[in-house]
Each structure stands twice: as structure tokens, then as C-alpha cells.
Structure 1
């Protein structure tokens, strides 16, 4: 059986232990706060095994949660998975599980903007220092490590500008100094890279996106190695992190079609991306599967496939012309997030304002696309009409 076939089977089978599914295909939704016990012996047993899949208290989880946690841990290749009400909550709780006042954090400069704000606002107020680093720094990260550096945070590819990091090199250096390596692995999902094989200690998913796949649930996961799982699990519990069993059920159901959806997202996106290469308005693509994307060589080495999310940079344009491009689309919608079945389009101005370790040329507008499950020819026609509006707006400005 090939690796691809093994993974496809794993996606369908992971987390389906009968003690959680109770013999049905999908784990039932267990809604619970208080768990009651018939005897003191039963209560003591539950308390002793509360972190090993025994029902103890609703915030510790139910079989609905346990099944999903087991599935994600297996697919990502980690030891245990904690659940959170959003991807942002997964990031913040994970960081706060391993940082305290006086510690130093190394944060990639291309990170998701709310994560940057978390560092500069909340963590700074707690006495935690952050140094932002170039996503392509590689072995140069050694120069930024301090005696109090406790966490190295990676996001590969990076939000918006899509730089792919040399994850194994960065993780190896982190481990030389006893630093915890944490990766936002949402772009790859649990199936297009093997973070723990690359040296990552904790892998985070905004499961809101590809795992759920239908733009109707907020949920996050953090999967840890055996070494760091107890600390992540207990600190997240102490912070009151929990998720609705109904949301977990929907995430589990979405997970079962992840493989086929990701393959179609990738196929559609590659067709649209190759068409964009023919457009005179496009300066270059920021798609990890293309050579024009910084860190493309690491994508080829560390990823098994791509997905539907990428960006492209225009040769010119202003607010009015880019607005004309984005508005009045038939299939692309403007909205935040990504990973659902629908196609999305957004423009980003002022990227230089959310960079501190690297520079960005904001004179050339960047457009981010999420390519959904529509017919790609319809999406290409939609973008073509958008470029017509874009060019008309530029021409009107010249007049």
C-alpha cells in the first residue's frame, strides 16, 4: 500500500475507537458539564485517569472530544492534542503555557497579524520580550538567541506573503539551546507536512479552516510531543480552554473528507495560478509551489502537496483600481479566514506596517486568493473580468 493510500485510510479511520464512537460511524455528541459517579471507587478511578480518556468533568472533555483529539494527534504525528475555541486561542494558550515574565520569544516576522498583536500588546504587558526575525533567516537565528530565550515560533508558509521557512534547521538550533519550537501548521493542514518529523515540538492548527472545511465552526488545536504534552495540557486546562462538543463533532465530520477536499483545492489553485502567470498585470506569484515564492526549495523538500491559498503581486495599482478589481465579483467573495469550500479574495495594503525585521515594497499591491471547490474556469473568468475593471480604473486615472 502506498503512503498516499495509507494516509487516505488514516484520515477516515483515526480517532474511531469504539470506546468513543460507541459503535456508530461518527462519535456521538456528548454534552456534559458534571459527570456523576455511583461509587467513591469510580470517582477515584476517574480522577486518577482524567488525562487518559476517562470522563471526569466536562471541561476535561467527553468521548466527542477524545475521538477528535486522538485523530488529530495521529495525523500530525504528535503525542497529544489540546482543543481551543479558535486558532487564535490555540496560539495564545500555547505561548502562555511555555512563557513567563522575563522570558524571550523569537517570533517569525511574517506571522498572522493577530499573533503579532498578541506579542506586542498582551505578552509585552506580562514582561515577555519578543524579537521578530526574518522568515528566511535559517541558521542566522543563532545570533538572535538570548540566555532567556524559551520559545521559537514558526509559521510556514507565512500569512499573506507566503514565505516558506527552513523548519528543520530552525528547530535543530532551537533544540541545541533548550528552546521549544512551535509551528503554526494551518496552511499544510495535518496531512501535507509531517511537523514532528521536521523537529517541531508543538504543531498548531486553526481547525476553523481546512479541517472543518465549511466556514461554520471556530476551533483550534495544539498537538505536542510526548515531552511537552503534560505542560501544554495542564496549562491550557488551567486557563479554562474548552470547546463545544457540537463544534468538535462538526470538525470531526469535516476531517473525514480533508484528503479529497485538499486535493481539489490544490488542483483548482494550480490552474488559476498558472493562468495568472499569463496576465500582464501580475508581477509575480507568492505560491509555495512556484519558484517565485521565497523558500520554494523548502516547500519541495518538506511538503507533500499545496492547497488553495496563495497570493500574487501586481506590477502597479492604487486603492481605487484594486477596489474595482475586487468588487462585483460573481464567485469570489471578500472575507477573512479561508479553508472553506468557497473562493475568497482580499487585498493587502501597508504590509510594511506589520513587518519589523524585514522590508516589504508596498508600492505593488498584493492580492490574496483562496481557491475553493468551484469550477476553476468560472473563477478564471471572474478574475479576468476583475482585471478588466482594474485596467479601466487605471486608464480613467490617467485621463
Structure 2
């Protein structure tokens, strides 16, 4: 049909450049509406198809490409993308937890996940139980237990859990295992094959905001599985809730994946150098890092992370005589370390925590005092050590 009206020709261009060429980065698709070729294409499809191009929220080549790559990195088969790590966590909780179900969480769980679960407990009658991640005996599931959240390593205090025994115990009772794998990023260990017995979690959740993005400028999360039934349950809830991500954001994360392992290893090595120096400073009551042979969870880290990889995070607990005002002064005197949440970006970050306001169980392995977490960026290790030393001098 000839198009004579100029306005129409602006919308329906008479010429189109060829759509596919080989490039280093895959093409970026921005789409809410996806055009079907004909009615056969419209009706001869199903939402469980491997690549269901029906609407932007379900996926485009851009988002499916990123999802496939994240699944491969994590050792899984299926991947769903969400607007943030917390959104990915909430997808799992809302998909599998119903009134009367019991969910177990580690005492060092990511704080917003605990807050979300407590909200579900109040509003919808799920039951939240807390266990010590380095003592599998404290995980005592009942017949109502549906899900256990694992975190390796744990938030803030960085204990590496007794992952092998916790997963074994859950498998014996047919309890779903969900791992927050943001720290490991799919690089420190394979969540779907992490022991000599080839143990696997059921679900791996990952804040792509951290290492996969690498720039401190993109929010995104992922949910990876191997079991098609679990994937379809999650995918259904994903669609019902209208969870979607921007094609531009997906392309940005995809672009960063090629350098992720190099950045991860560099930041981990820098963290170990800083760890060694921190342990020489008398001002600290305790230095926390799972790769430290003095750490109470070191053996669990070593048996799971067989490549002995670790992320770029290290925490310290100041001696009790340093109160919150002193720790605030320390943080304010840091120059290279910026005060902010998250990690995995180029800029080193610092955050302070009062553990007595965060933990529900008593942990004899943790010293009294205020905790500061260092999240290592891409700066030089010696410069970062000098920055900490300068800030410590402000307390003398």
C-alpha cells in the first residue's frame, strides 16, 4: 500500500535498514509493545516457551540474553530479572510462602529481606524463624517449614554459613533452599554444584546491582533456577506482579559482564591486603573476613569456595571504648572511602552498624563494639590503607 501522507510515513518508514549484524555487544531492544508477524504468531505461542516474545515485561532479546548469561555464570539454567536485588528476593517470598508456612532465615540475613518477611508475618500470617548460620543444629524445621534463606557470606558480619549441612538438612525435609548469592556472584562457588556430593540450592538470588553492574549506577536483581517447575512458578508470579526491567539497564549490565571476574578478583585481592593490615591495628577488637584463618567460619568458606575466592568486603569491630560518636568521626574523616550502601563498584564504600540493634540471637564469636564495613573498590590498596590510617589518627 502506498503511503502518501507525510505523518503516516513518519511512523511507518518506507525503508528499513537490515536488522541484524554481528557486533561486539548485542543489539539493544527497547520494547513495551512487540509486533506479531501474523495471527499464527500471536496464537501459536505460550508463556512457558523458552523465548516468549509477546510483551516487553515478558522479555526481549536484550533481557533474555542477559538472563541466559547470568544463569550460565551462576551454574543454573533459567533466569528471571527484576528491578533490584530486593525485588528478586520479594519475588521468591511472595511466590512460595502462604499463610501458615514457616520460613527460616539466618540471623545475619540481608536486613531488607528480614524486614519484608516480618511484614509478611504481620499481614499474611507466615511464620519467621531465625537460625545461626554457622551452627546447623539451630535450624530446626517443622512440618510447616516451606523455605530456608541462606546467605554466603552473611550480611555485615560476613560469616560463611555451614552451607553443606544446612542444605542437606533442608533436602531431607523437602524444604526449598534459596541462596542470596550476591557476595559470591556466581564466581566464588557454584550454587548448583558446591560440594563433592554435588549439592545444589534450589534458587539463587543475586543483586546484579553489585558485581555484574560494576558501575554503582544500575539497580537490578536476578532469580536463577535449574528446575523447570520452580522456574515456571516464579515466572508466573513474575508476570502477575508486572516485574520488568529496562532494556537500557540490561544492556549496561551485559556490557559489564566481560570484566566482572577481573574486577571481582582484583577487589578481593585488595581486600585481603587491607585485611592483613587491619589485623595489626590495636584499635580494633575484631576483623571479620571468611578467608581469614582466624575466622570462626573459615572452614566452611574453604570447603565451599574451593577456588578460594572471596569478595571485596571486610568488616571491623572497634574496641568498646570507642562509642558511636567516635565511629562517626572516623567515617567522616575518610576521604577515598565514601559513606554509602552497596558494593562492587569502582569507588570504595564504608558503612557503620550497631550490631546490638540488628541481631536477634547471641553470638559468642562476635566482640562487643561498633562495626564498620569496608567495601573495596578499584583504588590502589596502599592508598586505601593510608586513608584508613588518616581517619584512625583523628581518634587519637
TM-score when normalising by structure 2: 0.89
Q: Which stretches of structure 1, 4 residues or longer, exceed 6 Å deviation after superposition?
A: none
1:202-260, CA deviations, whole angstroms, 9 ceiling, x for partnerless residues?
A: 00101101110110000000101224211112122211111111111111111110011
Matched, 1:358 2:351: no
Q: Secondary structure at the match of 1:48?
A: coil
Separation in 1, partners of 2:22, 2:356? 54
Q: Does 1:311 align with 2:315?
A: yes
Instruction: Give the aligned partner of residue 76 of structure 2.
Output: 78
Aligned partners of 2:336, 2:159: CA distance in 1, in Å?
A: 27
Q: Find 1:186's aligned residue among 164, 182, 194.
A: 182
Aligned to 1:33: 32
Confirm or deny: 8 A CA contact 1:76 1:195 kept in the other structure.
yes
Give the secondary-structure state (helix, strand or coil) at the position aligned to 2:130.
strand
Deviation at 1:140, TM superposition (A): 4.2
Show the counterpart of 1:332.
337
Q: Tell whether the 8 Å contact from 1:50 to 1:60 is kept in structure 2 after alignment.
A: no
Q: CA deviation at 1:178?
A: 1.2
CA–CA distance in structure 1, aligned partners of residues 175 and 48 of structure 2? 29
Corresponding residue for residue 12 of structure 2: none
- Once the 2 structures are TM-superposed, how far is the Cα of residue 320 of structure 1 from its aligned partner? 2.1
C-alpha RMSD of matched pairs (Å): 1.7
CA distance in 2, matches of 1:375, 1:369: 14
Of 128, 149, 153 in structure 1, the residue corresponding to residue 149 of structure 2 is 153
* 1:253-299 C-alpha deviation (Å, 9 max, x unpaired): 11110011011101111111111111111222111110233311011
Q: What are the equivalent positions in structure 2 for 1:64-213 lying under 5 Å apart?
A: 64-141=62-139, 144-198=140-194, 199-213=200-214
CA shift for structure 1 position 129: 0.7
2:264 to 262, 265, 274: 262
Is the 2:285–2:367 Cα contact (8 Å) retained in structure 1?
A: no
Q: Tell me by how many angstroms 1:352 deviates.
A: 2.0
- Report the Cα distance in structure 2 between the residues aligned to 1:104 and 1:124, rounded to whole angstroms: 13
Q: Which residue of 1 aligns with 2:9?
A: none
Aligned length: 368
Question: What residue is the counterpart of 1:218 in the other structure?
Answer: 219
In 2, Cα distance between equivalents of 1:330 and 1:195? 37
Q: Is the 8 A contact 1:162 1:293 kept in 2?
A: no
Give the structure with the higher percent helix: 1
Deviations 1:355-378 (A, max 9, x none): 223347674121100111111111
Specify the SS of the correspondent of 1:58: coil
- The CA deviation string for residues 107-141 of structure 1, in whole angstroms up to 9 with x for no partner, is 11110111111111234311111101111122442
Q: 1:293 to 1:124 in 2, by over 3 A?
A: farther
Gaps of 5+ in 1: 1-19, 392-399
Asked whether 1:378 is paired with 2:383, we answer: yes
Q: TM-score, normalised by structure 1?
A: 0.89
Matched-pair contact (CA < 8 Å) for 1:352–1:362:
no
